[in-house]
């Protein structure tokens, strides 16, 4: 009897110990902080991507561009199991409507901040984006997002005010460091862009149009030349050349395919022999969450 009681109280004690150590583990060893990436929308109707830091209750979000409505963004984040209120930063390539939807000026969670390039400051003021929390960055001067994420940028020609391309460098317990490049709405891939993005692990880059389809389209000539004159968008061939020069290590995500002058088949031509996985960002709807880094 005594033995049984002692065994029972012993196993209760064991169970208590286990519970206590689980509690300590939860306290001292939070959920692994995986960093993942997805595009939510990618076309001339709207562009928005997300970097997800952590998972479960602990996740935090960085948006890259916010070219779809806050309501639509909320729905798409929800589809991925992500929470709109956990957006901490919105990093903007430029402020065209398809990259910065007007009602975001009033919809950003209170603690969150826009990250806007110096060259876009005046336009941002007119658009009501210069909050107390807004941070202006200068192209070429790296800034920190927190959680050890460092952002470097390069200003490229696109329409009047230009466009920022980004390289995100992230700490990673498994790989040392990891990096993701993000380049869209480029006039052309300059040597500065190539050196910024050289050897990134994941490269998200626009592959906007098939040249033959563009030339044959019934678009007005001024529009065709605006797109193709070196300060508009990258064609599939220009994108492929840029990818070869950058040599991404693991994956390429093709962004911003024109609905009228491109197809996924045309955009993926030439990438078959690449030593990277290829993802084509849907115009409206999320890609899978792609693992980028593992912070511990």
Under rule CB under 5 A, residue 169 binds Zn ion: no
Tell me the window of 68-76, 98-106, 139-147, 194-202 that interacts with Zn ion (CB under 5 A): 98-106
We find the least distance from the C-beta atom of residue 108 to Zn ion, in angstroms, to be 20
Tell me the window of 177-185, 217-225, 239-247, 285-293 that interacts with Zn ion (CB under 5 A): 177-185
We find the least distance from the C-beta atom of residue 43 to Zn ion, in angstroms, to be 8
Q: How far apart are CA 99 and CA 89, in angstroms?
A: 15
Tell me the window of 14-22, 58-66, 181-189, 272-280 that interacts with Zn ion (CB under 5 A): 181-189
Residue of 137, 115, 114, 94 lying closest to 232 (CA atoms): 94
We find the least distance from the C-beta atom of residue 101 to Zn ion, in angstroms, to be 12
Under rule CB under 5 A, residue 89 binds Zn ion: no
Under rule CB under 5 A, residue 34 binds Zn ion: no
Nearer to Zn ion, 149 or 267 (CB): 267
Do residues 25 and 52 lie in contact, with contact meaning Cβ atoms separated by under 8 Å? no
Quick one: which of 34, 89, 98, 154 contacts Zn ion (CB under 5 A)? 98
Sign of CA dihedral 83, 286, 174, 205: negative
Tell me the window of 106-114, 151-159, 184-192, 269-277 that interacts with Zn ion (CB under 5 A): 184-192
We find the least distance from the C-beta atom of residue 98 to Zn ion, in angstroms, to be 4
Task: Detail the DSSP E strand segments found in the chain.
Answer: 34-43, 46-53, 60-64, 87-91, 113-117, 135-137, 143-146, 149-156, 163-172, 176-183, 202-206, 251-255, 277-280, 290-294
Q: What's the chain's length in residues?
A: 296
Please state, in angstroms and as integers, the Cα–Cα distance from residue 61 to each residue in 32, 34, 94, 279, following that order: 15, 12, 19, 21
Q: Which residues here bind Zn ion, judged by CB under 5 A?
A: 98, 185
């Amino acid at each position: 009897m005594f033995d049984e009681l002692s065994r029972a109280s012993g196993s209760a004690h064991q169970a208590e110990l286990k519970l206590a150590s689980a509690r300590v583990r939860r306290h001292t060893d939070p959920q692994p902080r995986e960093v993942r990436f997805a595009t939510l929308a990618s076309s001339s109707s709207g562009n928005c991507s997300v970097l997800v830091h952590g998972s479960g209750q602990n996740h935090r979000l960085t948006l890259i561009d916010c070219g779809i409505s806050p309501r639509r963004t909320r729905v798409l984040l929800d589809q991925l199991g992500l929470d709109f209120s956990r957006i901490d930063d919105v990093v903007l390539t430029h402020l065209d409507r398809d990259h910065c939807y007007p009602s975001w000026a009033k919809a950003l969670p209170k603690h969150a901040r826009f990250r806007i390039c110096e060259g876009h400051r005046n336009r941002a003021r007119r658009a009501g984006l210069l909050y107390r929390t807004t941070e202006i960055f200068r192209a070429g001067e790296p800034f920190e997002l927190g959680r050890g994420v460092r952002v470097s940028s390069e200003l490229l020609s696109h329409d009047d005010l230009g466009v920022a391309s980004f390289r995100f460098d992230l700490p990673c317990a498994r790989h040392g460091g990891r990096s993701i490049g993000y380049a869209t709405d480029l006039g052309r891939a300059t040597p500065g862009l190539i050196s910024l993005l050289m050897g990134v692990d994941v490269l998200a880059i626009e592959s906007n149009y098939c040249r033959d389809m563009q030339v044959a389209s019934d678009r007005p000539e001024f529009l065709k030349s605006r797109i193709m004159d070196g300060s508009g968008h990258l064609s599939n061939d220009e994108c492929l050349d840029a990818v070869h020069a950058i040599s991404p290590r693991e994956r390429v995500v093709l962004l911003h395919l024109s609905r009228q002058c491109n197809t996924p088949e045309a955009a993926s031509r030439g990438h078959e022999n690449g030593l990277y996985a290829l993802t084509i960002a849907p115009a409206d709807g999320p890609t899978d969450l792609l693992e980028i880094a593992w912070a511990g």
